[in-house]
């Protein structure tokens, strides 16, 4: 039984961590912090957790957190990096759900996140928490940078093609659509029901923070720089990400059947990636509340464009679920502990 702490327990990823960890056989949630709600019972703020969570929000306190075996940061960018060094020095393992440790290049991080990185010396050590790529390194890591939601769906969708050098890396397109919870639990006009309901639009087309993170990952997979056009959109629903990925694959490189076989092989032993029969249309609802990523492949009209469809739940495989998957690896628990819940359908 290990003790877990959650810093920033009042955002959606924080509450998801609570939902998942509450039923984890090997974890006891010992500390949940929130500056704004310190002193309030967690289950008073979140009645969905009544009866299972018996914790009161506390002010973030390094001592209390140092008493944990693992600390999850479900905080705004720029927060985790303030406490991580101290916690690592105290022997605590850290899993950061924010972006603070995702980019290897501190200067690039500064450009995209608008602030100076306070502990760039940790960047080389931080392991990017995508188990499908970094499983072994995660097992031995002290510090895991949990991937962003869009980056998870896009990388899982592109990896096999890029690893095998089958796609033209100068022409990758990711047209991605997300439910509104991806924006977080923030009181902003743009995310009101009255602003997003019965509504659809793109945003941040000129450049979204996830772009450098995705490019970094695709470059590692391809062994070469990639040119990715990444266009995010907002769907009038709460949970779910659907990535429609376009890659140019010349006929002599591989047929659709060969690519299908490649994906099935690549993910054969991945418990959280499910390659559907080619031609399927994955639906975000079939992974809602679960830690699965479902993928399918198409080659419309037999042309050179391969279309990959990739769906996840942005709060689970896109955040909290993946964080717990990483924790399981770091502590040697069965990888799916706490993550067996099936998708909620309908």
What is the set of active-site residues? 149
Contact between 294 and a copy of itself by CB under 8 A: the answer reads: yes
Phi then psi for residue 113, to 5 deg, are -105, 0
Which residue lies nearer to a copy of itself by CB, 39 or 47?
Answer: 47
From residue 242 to residue 281, what is the string marking binding to a copy of itself with x (rule CB under 8 A)?
Answer: x-x-x-x-------------------------x-x--xxx
Contact residue for a copy of itself among 33, 34, 181, 216 (CB under 8 A): 181
Contacts of 17 (CB under 8 A, 6+ apart): 6, 9, 72, 74, 97, 320, 323, 324
Show contacts with a copy of itself in window 42-101 (CB under 8 A): 46-52
Bridge partner residues of 293 (DSSP): 273
Please report how close the Cβ of residue 54 comes to a copy of itself at its closest, in angstroms: 14
Contact between 219 and a copy of itself by CB under 8 A: the answer reads: no
Contact between 344 and a copy of itself by CB under 8 A: the answer reads: yes
Which residue lies nearer to a copy of itself by CB, 140 or 194?
Answer: 194
Contact between 5 and a copy of itself by CB under 8 A: the answer reads: no
Which residue lies nearer to a copy of itself by CB, 139 or 233?
Answer: 233
Show contacts with a copy of itself in window 309-338 (CB under 8 A): 309, 311, 315
Measured distance CA(261)–CA(244) in Å, rounded: 20
Contact residue for a copy of itself among 58, 286, 322, 328 (CB under 8 A): 286
Please report how close the Cβ of residue 77 comes to a copy of itself at its closest, in angstroms: 19
Measured distance CA(239)–CA(180) in Å, rounded: 7
Please report how close the Cβ of residue 122 comes to a copy of itself at its closest, in angstroms: 28
Which residue lies nearer to a copy of itself by CB, 1 or 187?
Answer: 187
Contact residue for a copy of itself among 207, 255, 257, 265 (CB under 8 A): 207
Show contacts with a copy of itself in window 222-241 (CB under 8 A): 227, 229-231, 233, 235-240
What is the pairing mode between strands 201-202 and 27-33? unpaired
CB 102 within 8 A of CB 145: yes
Residue 259 tokens read as 């690519």
Please report how close the Cβ of residue 18 comes to a copy of itself at its closest, in angstroms: 8
Which residue lies nearer to a copy of itself by CB, 95 or 293?
Answer: 293
Instruction: Identify which of 284, 344, 320 has the alpha carbon closest to the alpha carbon of residue 11.
Output: 320
DSSP 98: S
Measured distance CA(295)–CA(264) in Å, rounded: 10
Please report how close the Cβ of residue 329 comes to a copy of itself at its closest, in angstroms: 20
Contact residue for a copy of itself among 284, 325, 326, 328 (CB under 8 A): 284
Contact residue for a copy of itself among 23, 59, 62, 111 (CB under 8 A): 23
Chain mean position to CA 255: 31
Helix (H, G, I), strand (E, B) or coil at 336: coil
Q: To 10 degrees, the CA torsion angle through 282, 288, 294, 296? A: 10
Which residue lies nearer to a copy of itself by CB, 114 or 281?
Answer: 281
Widest distance between CA atoms in the chain: 64
Number of residues counted as binding a copy of itself (CB under 8 A)? 89
Please report how close the Cβ of residue 6 comes to a copy of itself at its closest, in angstroms: 15
CB 242 within 8 A of CB 177: yes
Which residue lies nearer to a copy of itself by CB, 141 or 315?
Answer: 315
Contacts of 82 (CB under 8 A, 6+ apart): 118
Instruction: Identify which of 80, 126, 104 has the alpha carbon closest to the alpha carbon of residue 212.
Output: 104
Phi then psi for residue 198, to 5 deg, are 45, 50
Show contacts with a copy of itself in window 108-167 (CB under 8 A): none
Other CB atoms within 10 A of residue 241 CB: 27
Contact between 35 and a copy of itself by CB under 8 A: the answer reads: no
CA angle 9, 15, 20 (to 5 degrees): 120
């Amino acid at each position: 039984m290990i003790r877990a702490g959650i810093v920033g327990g009042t955002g959606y990823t924080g509450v998801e961590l609570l939902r998942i960890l509450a039923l984890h056989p090997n974890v006891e949630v010992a500390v949940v912090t929130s500056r704004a709600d310190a002193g309030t019972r967690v289950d008073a703020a979140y009645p969905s957790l009544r009866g299972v969570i018996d914790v009161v929000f506390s002010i973030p306190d390094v001592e209390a957190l140092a008493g944990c075996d693992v600390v999850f940061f479900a905080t705004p960018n720029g927060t985790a990096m303030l406490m991580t060094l101290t916690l690592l020095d105290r022997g605590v393992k850290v899993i950061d759900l924010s972006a603070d440790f995702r980019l290897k290049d501190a200067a690039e991080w500064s450009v995209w996140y608008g602030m100076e990185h306070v502990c760039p010396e940790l960047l080389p050590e931080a392991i990017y928490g995508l188990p499908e790529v970094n499983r072994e390194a995660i097992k031995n890591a002290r510090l895991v940078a949990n991937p962003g939601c869009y980056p998870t769906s896009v990388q899982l969708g592109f990896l096999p093609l890029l690893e095998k050098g089958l796609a033209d890396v100068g022409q990758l397109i990711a047209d991605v659509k997300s439910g509104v919870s991806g924006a977080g639990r923030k009181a902003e006009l743009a995310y009101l029901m009255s602003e997003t309901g019965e509504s659809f639009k793109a945003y941040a087309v000129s450049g979204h923070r996830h772009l450098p993170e995705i490019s970094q990952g695709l470059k590692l997979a391809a062994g070469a720089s990639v040119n990715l056009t990444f266009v995010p959109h907002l769907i009038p629903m709460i949970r779910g990400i659907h990535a429609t990925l376009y890659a140019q694959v010349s006929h002599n490189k591989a047929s659709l059947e060969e690519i299908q076989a490649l994906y099935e092989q690549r993910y054969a032993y991945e418990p959280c990636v499910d390659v559907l029969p080619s031609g399927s249309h994955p639906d975000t609802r079939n992974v809602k509340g679960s830690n699965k990523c479902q993928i399918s492949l198409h080659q419309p009209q037999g042309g050179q464009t391969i279309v990959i469809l990739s769906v996840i739940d942005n709060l689970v495989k896109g955040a909290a679920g993946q964080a717990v998957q990483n924790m399981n690896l770091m502590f040697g628990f069965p990888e799916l502990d706490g993550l067996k819940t099936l998708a909620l359908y309908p």
